[in-house]
């Protein structure tokens, strides 16, 4: 991750300062550390009646061209559920109803350093499937014919589904 150079409140150049157990970026004008945290995202394990998983082909970096679960970053004011359902609609055209939380995890990301990701199970959905937004293709895959998944956290949510809920 690129180091932050200026305070995003007052534009003062930041320094390093050891605060609360680690070296942090610090604004001497605001007299405040710039706290950095994982960025929250939601993804969906959507399962059809044949027990297949819905995947989208990524049309953006990172991992462009690889398959992953539909999902994306949580916007301000959204719950993780709402963000997941919005991303599902944007990327696949499907409207879904969340069944349960499959898990919560973090994975490293070049741009944001760390992404905190919630994985939800969806078994009830409607609408016609259309790849959109950050997806160039969308399809269901059976457990035995799964392509390589772009992110290990997504893979672990899929594995959680097959080992506990299938
Ligand atoms: Zn400042």
Residue 35 CA, ligand 1 centroid: distance in Å? 12
Closest CA to 99 of 84, 89, 78: 84
Alpha carbon of 28 to ligand 1 centroid (Å) = 7
Cβ-contact 94, 127 below 8 angstroms: yes
Spatial distance between the Cα atoms of 139 and 121, rounded to a whole number of angstroms: 17
Ligand 1 centroid, distance to 19 Cα (angstroms)? 16
pTM: 0.88
Is residue 40 within 8 Å of 73, Cβ to Cβ? yes
46 by DSSP, 3-state: which?
strand
Average of per-residue pLDDT values in the chain:
93
CA of 112 to the centre of ligand 1 (A): 21
Compute, in angstroms, the gap from residue 14 CA to the centroid of ligand 1. 8
Q: Could you read off the pLDDT of 52-109 as tens digits, one per residue?
A: 999 999 888 888 899 999 999 999 999 999 999 999 999 999 999 999 999 999 988 7
Angle value at C-alpha 40, between 163 and 21, nearest 5 degrees: 105
In the chain, % of residues over pLDDT 90 = 84
Residue 76 CA to ligand 1 center (angstroms) comes to: 22
**Looking at beta carbons, which pairs linking 12-20 to residues 24 or more positions away fall under 8 Å?**
none
pLDDT digits (tens, 9 = 90+) for 30-44: 999 999 999 999 999
- Ligand 1 center from residue 6 Cα (angstroms): 8
State the DSSP code for 47: B
């Amino acid at each position: 991750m690129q180091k932050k150079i200026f305070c995003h409140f007052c534009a003062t150049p930041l320094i390093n300062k050891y605060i609360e157990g680690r070296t942090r970026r610090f604004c001497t004008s605001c007299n405040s550390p710039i706290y950095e945290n994982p960025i929250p995202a939601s993804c969906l394990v959507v399962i059809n009646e044949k027990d297949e998983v819905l995947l989208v082909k990524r049309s953006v970096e990172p991992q462009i061209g690889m398959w992953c679960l539909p999902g994306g970053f949580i916007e301000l004011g959204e719950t993780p559920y709402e963000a997941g359902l919005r991303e599902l609609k944007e990327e696949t055209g499907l409207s879904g109803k969340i069944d349960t939380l499959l898990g919560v995890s973090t994975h490293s990301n070049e741009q944001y350093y760390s992404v905190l990701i919630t994985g939800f199970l969806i078994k009830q959905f409607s609408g016609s499937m259309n790849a959109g937004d950050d997806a160039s293709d969308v399809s269901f895959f059976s457990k035995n014919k799964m392509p390589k998944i772009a992110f290990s956290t997504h893979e672990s949510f899929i594995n959680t589904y097959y080992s506990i809920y299938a």
